[in-house]
Amino acid sequence: MKTVFVKPQNVERKWFLIDAEGLILGRVAARVASILRGKEKAIFTPNQEIGDYVVVINVDKIAVSGRKAQDKLYYRHSGYAGGLKTVNYEKLAEKHPTSPLEFAIKGMLPKGPLGRKLLKNVKIYAGAEHPHGAQNLEKIEL
């Protein structure tokens, strides 16, 4: 058997739309990460960018279960001694509604240059409006 190497420029890439209103954060992030990697395609290759594009709307109405709104913490560090900053989900979602989903998707993608490249293929919007109407979006129900 010969191994088939697919060139990224020869891959047909689609655009998908996910309406996140009322859906669970982790479930949406897992599905988006899978689509971005191209795991649903028969030609999946772990070291190539063959996945599709995803547009996620209504992220400001996404849900988390249990007490995660108060208990889930996001960390960042200034680089200085004692510079660890924490913020919970509730405050982060209030100030930057798209950030929790971005962080969740980023954590599910490979680390390194491929993961950073794949993260550019997801477009996240807090409201229902998006500028990607010309891409003939295919709606996905979760």
**29 within domain boundaries:** yes
Q: What is the pLDDT of residue 86?
A: 97
**85 within domain boundaries:** no
**8 Å CB contact between 53 and 135:** yes
**8 Å CB contact between 122 and 20:** no
CA 78 to CA 129: how far, in whole Å?
A: 34
Instruction: Provide the 8-state DSSP code for 80.
Output: S
Specify the pTM: 0.93
Print pLDDT tens along the chain (142 aa). 787 788 878 889 999 999 999 999 999 999 999 999 999 998 888 989 999 999 999 999 999 999 999 999 999 999 999 999 999 999 999 999 999 999 999 999 999 999 999 999 999 999 999 999 999 999 999 8
Q: What is the pLDDT of residue 3?
A: 78
CATH code (residue 20): 3.90.1180.10
CA 123 to CA 132: how far, in whole Å?
A: 9
**73 within domain boundaries:** no
**1 within domain boundaries:** no
Q: Which residues constitute the domain of residue 106? A: 14-65+97-130
From the CA atom positions of the chain, what is the Rg in Å? Answer: 17
* Structural domain count, the chain: 1
- Please name which of 17, 2, 11, 16 lies closest in space to residue 48, comparing C-alpha atoms: 11
**46 within domain boundaries:** yes
**113 within domain boundaries:** yes
Q: What is the pLDDT of residue 64?
A: 96
Q: What is the pLDDT of residue 7?
A: 83
**72 within domain boundaries:** no
β-strand pairing of 73-77 with 84-88: antiparallel
Q: What is the pLDDT of residue 113?
A: 97
